[in-house]
Structure 1
Amino acid sequence: MRFLESHKHKQFSCKPSEDDHISVKEKFIHGKYAEKKFVHKVEDSRHLLSVAQQLWEGVRKNDKKTVYRLIVVYQADVNAVHGQASLGSDCANSLNPRSGSADLSSDGFFDGCSLLHLACQTADIGMVELLLQHGANINACDLRGQIPLHHSFLRGRTEIAKLLLSRGADPQAVDKEGKTPFHLVQESALDDVEIIALLKVAIG
């Protein structure tokens, strides 16, 4: 039995000789082709994973040049969400929108968040515009049911909020706590007259 197993393994691992039967040669060729396809598939998966990690980190650091290159050259998915990228420790560390502390990965704050959610927390209005121009979903929901507009108000980033509203963000989107972006504005005592007016107009 051991001899047969060894012989069978040899058929697939060793290149057939000229005297081997044609079936042995065919199995060797098919085996090598399947192995090559598998290796390429693994390499492609690792490449895509790396691109997703770089894209998340680029947005977090507000590195527009890198983000643009990854989107245009590597066709990175601008609607990838946190968790798909399997972020490393460096990529997972971000600013806490409420306390300014590091490592939101501990409480899962960014779970289910898109790059646009992240940009509303850590980047500037130029990054938000870049993502929108390349197809970012302006009303994507995170695991708490919050859209990027919620996040912009959580951080008090009114200029980004104005941009999102002008581009079609839903001011009546309700999160899992039953709060709309307008509720967050009311709770924050934000006195930006323009924002309040924009929200009221958008709500109708």
Structure 2
Amino acid sequence: MTNLFSSFDLSTNIMSMNWLSTLIIAMIMPVSFWLIPSRSSWLWNLVLSTLHKEFKLLTGNSSLGTTIMFISVFTIILSNNFLGLFPYIFTSTSHLSFTLTLALPLWVSFMLFGWINNTIHMLAHLVPQGTPPILMPFMVCIETISNVIRPGTLAVRLAANMIAGHLLLTLLGNTGPKLSMILVNILIITQLLLVMLESAVAIIQSYVFAVLATLYSSEVT
């Protein structure tokens, strides 16, 4: 990198080899994970069943088909967030071109389904219950704007959280050669704590993205 923000220049377009890092998880996952029961596969199945139960409550549908899409989105984001913590691996979830690709089709499909099949229900959502008649035009404008910016907020929230942690790790790491031995030891401990924090952020942000997408889908049914 020539500077701190060179990972966001035009050289990292969709045709770049960096974007193949999203497929690394498929290459390093052993085939035995899917064929032979193990503790890791049992733990992952437990996570998936827990997510299915929670998404089932949010969507109001008990079938697996209604939640498997959101579980898949959670898995994709989680794997890419964790891969970005390893050295020399491109963090695709820190780019809006990746996060918008996930958020925008979901939002458009929800809106098309809602306005085509439940038009009256969608119109009722524009005016919250108990709104005074004089405020109804303003509430319609506010609710419309908040609905339109939903894919942007989903994408920016995920990208900004991933960028912030990586930039902080990079800034602190660049100061290492200029510090004394005592400060370097403190810096290493700080970096380890930040990596632990970023691991938690990777899980939380993927979970928040999937839950918000599930909530948006429940509003159109």
Give yes or no for TM over 0.5: no
- TM-score normalised by structure 2 residue count: 0.20
Q: Per residue, is there more helix in 1 or in 2?
A: 2
**Structure with greater Cα Rg:** 1
TM-score scaled to structure 1, two decimals? 0.21
Which structure has the higher relative contact order (CA within 8 Å, separation 6+)?
Answer: 2
